[in-house]
């Protein structure tokens, strides 16, 4: 028999809209699926679900590829209390189209009614994923989706409680950085967090472990730094209460840069910096803040000419947010020593959010997406500087012909390619001040001033 699914579907849709469908029901063909569907609907309207099921079963037998017929049969079976029959009909509709929205909703509702919570959660999740791409949704559908989200959230919390109870013994046997990995794995499996990969705007050094926050065990000198917090904080406060000479906007984009996520902070004191070291050069800040400079001299900063270290006080004004972004190269890691942190400040790297605690330093991978905010009414001040990635060997980061030279050559190669394309900015300027990095390949052809824009 030649398939008539398309014609059946059009006729059923027309009838649902109140249009005349007699032309679609050939005379003398009482077993035509459109006629059987119409009779089945009338039977449901009178409450005769048994007769409706019989009629609609004949209709789907005549045209088994018509999803509306399967959906009507499922409705009749639901009205007649035949849960397994309804399940089979809805699954038949989904075998034709796994993305049929109403079939997914009805099957999710069926699972929920039957107490099949895991299956219901999976089906509701599929409904929510499809709904996210709908350009518009009715108020009735929004109510269904809100209930679906609530059900999925409750189910996942119950499931998480069960899993955590079962794994409690294994978790207790793990400590330190291993426990953090274990917890992140569990949270990812339970949908409670995302796992981010590092994205380098500049040189990417392969096979280095990417970690949002590096374990303190890699940096035994952090306690030395933290012990100098009172003196470092005092110098930062003196700077802020004085003339603020040398304090400059942190983001400075090249003139003519197209609008982007940094536009709101471009040349703005909402986020400013006071440098002690900048691209390997000792700045005036080392003279005006001698205690801070002396503390930095005790630490294993990244060190190679015209590139590193960079160390500065990062000042974030009240009610200022730094947008999500990634850094330049994974050869270095970034250290934060919080100095002045009012309530309402936060910092996210990848899937982990931390609050700064004054005097407690941490180290993170800035090539993993990160952002910061100050929602308070006071200044937030952090001392920031760069070190080598903790998993680089001394042979890689200490030799003059090692990572530093590789990054140096990569930078000039990128600059040379820009100049060949006629896109160089600031011709004749010192390369330390230029720090040009290509914007994403899909963006308009332009370059922005690096100015360490991935740190804060």
Please give the average per-residue pLDDT across 268-292, as a whole number.
96
Q: Rounded CA gap, 122 and 137, in Å?
A: 21
Verify that 280 and 139 share a domain, yes or no.
Answer: no
The string of pLDDT tens digits covering residues 341-400 is: 999 999 999 999 999 999 999 999 999 999 999 999 999 999 999 999 999 988 887 654
Whichever domain contains 401, its CATH number is 2.60.120.330
Verify that 17 and 118 share a domain, yes or no.
Answer: yes
Whichever domain contains 59, its CATH number is 1.25.40.10
- Would 186 be classed as within a structural domain? no
Verify that 146 and 249 share a domain, yes or no.
Answer: no
Q: Of 153, 174, 208, which residue sits at a domain end? A: 153
Query: Which segment, 28-32, 89-93, 136-140, is predicted with the most confidence on average?
Result: 89-93
The string of pLDDT tens digits covering residues 126-154 is: 999 999 999 999 999 999 999 999 999 99
Verify that 266 and 136 share a domain, yes or no.
Answer: no
- Would 456 be classed as within a structural domain? no
To which H or E segment does residue 189 belong?
helix 176-189
- Would 211 be classed as within a structural domain? no
Q: Of 128, 153, 178, which residue sits at a domain end? A: 153
From the centroid of its chain, how far is CA 452?
22
Asked if residues 305 and 277 have their Cβ atoms less than 8 Å apart, the reply is no
Verify that 259 and 131 share a domain, yes or no.
Answer: no
From the centroid of its chain, how far is CA 419?
34
The string of pLDDT tens digits covering residues 204-246 is: 889 999 999 999 999 999 999 999 999 999 999 999 998 888 8
Domain count, the chain: 2
DSSP string, 38-104: HHHHHHHHTT-HHHHHHHHHHHHHH-TT-HHHHHHHHHHHHHTT-HHHHHHHHHHHHHH-TT-HHHH
Measured in residues, the chain has a length of 456
Whether the upstream peptide bond of residue 309 has omega within 30° of 0, thus cis, is yes
Say what the pTM is.
0.69
Both tokens assigned to 111: 């699972």
Percent of the chain with pLDDT over 90: 66
Q: Which of 33-47, 208-222, 326-340, 385-399 has the lowest mean pLDDT?
A: 385-399
Q: Is 339 helix (H, G, I), strand (E, B) or coil?
A: strand
**pLDDT band at 421, cuts 50/70/90?**
very low
Q: Rounded CA gap, 420 and 278, in Å?
A: 28
Q: Of 153, 176, 195, which residue sits at a domain end? A: 153
Verify that 333 and 241 share a domain, yes or no.
Answer: yes
Burial class for 342, CB neighbours closer than 10 Å (0-12, 13-18, 19+): middle
Instruction: Give residue 220's domain range.
Output: 216-449
């Amino acid at each position: 028999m030649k398939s008539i699914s398309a014609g059946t579907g059009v006729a059923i849709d027309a009838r649902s809209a109140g249009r005349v469908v007699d032309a679609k029901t050939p005379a003398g063909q009482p077993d035509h699926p459109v006629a059987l569907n119409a009779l089945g609907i009338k039977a449901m309207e009178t409450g005769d679900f048994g007769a409706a099921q019989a009629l609609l079963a004949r209709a789907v037998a005549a045209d088994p590829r018509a999803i509306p017929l399967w959906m009507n049969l499922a409705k009749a079976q639901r009205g007649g209390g035949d849960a397994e029959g309804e399940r089979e009909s809805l699954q038949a509709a989904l075998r034709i189209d796994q993305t049929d929205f109403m079939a997914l909703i009805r099957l999710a509702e069926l699972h929920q009614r039957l107490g099949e919570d895991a299956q219901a959660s999976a089906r509701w999740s599929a409904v929510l994923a499809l709904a996210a791409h709908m350009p518009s949704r009715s108020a009735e559908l929004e109510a269904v989706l809100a209930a679906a989200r609530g059900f999925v959230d409750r189910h996942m919390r119950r499931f998480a409680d069960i899993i955590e109870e079962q794994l409690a013994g294994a978790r207790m046997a793990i400590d330190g950085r291993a426990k953090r990995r274990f917890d992140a794995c569990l949270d990812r499996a339970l949908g409670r967090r995302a796992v981010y990969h590092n994205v380098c705007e500049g040189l990417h050094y392969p096979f280095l472990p990417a970690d949002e926050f590096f374990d303190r065990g890699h940096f035994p000198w952090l306690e030395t730094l933290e012990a100098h917090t009172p003196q470092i904080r005092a110098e930062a406060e003196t700077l802020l209460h004085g003339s603020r000479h040398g304090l400059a906007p942190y983001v400075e984009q090249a003139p003519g840069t197209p609008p982007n996520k940094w536009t709101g902070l471009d040349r703005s004191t909402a986020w400013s910096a006071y440098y002690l070291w900048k691209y390997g050069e000792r700045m005036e800040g080392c003279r005006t803040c001698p205690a801070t400079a002396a503390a930095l001299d005790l630490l294993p900063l990244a060190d190679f000419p015209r590139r590193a270290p960079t160390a500065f006080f990062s000042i974030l004004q009240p009610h200022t947010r730094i947008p999500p972004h990634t850094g330049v190269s994974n050869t270095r890691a970034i250290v934060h020593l919080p100095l002045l942190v009012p309530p309402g400040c936060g910092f996210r790297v990848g899937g982990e959010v931390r609050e700064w605690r004054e005097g407690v330093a941490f180290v993170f991978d800035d090539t993993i997406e990160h952002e910061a905010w100050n929602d308070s009414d006071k200044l937030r001040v952090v001392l920031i500087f760069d070190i080598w990635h903790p998993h680089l060997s001394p042979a890689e980061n200490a030799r003059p012909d090692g990572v530093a030279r590789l990054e140096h050559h990569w930078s000039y190669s990128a600059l040379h390619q820009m100049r060949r394309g006629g896109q160089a900015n600031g011709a004749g300027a010192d390369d330390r001040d230029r720090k040009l990095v290509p914007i994403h390949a899909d963006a308009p052809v332009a370059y922005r001033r690096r100015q360490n824009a991935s740190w804060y």
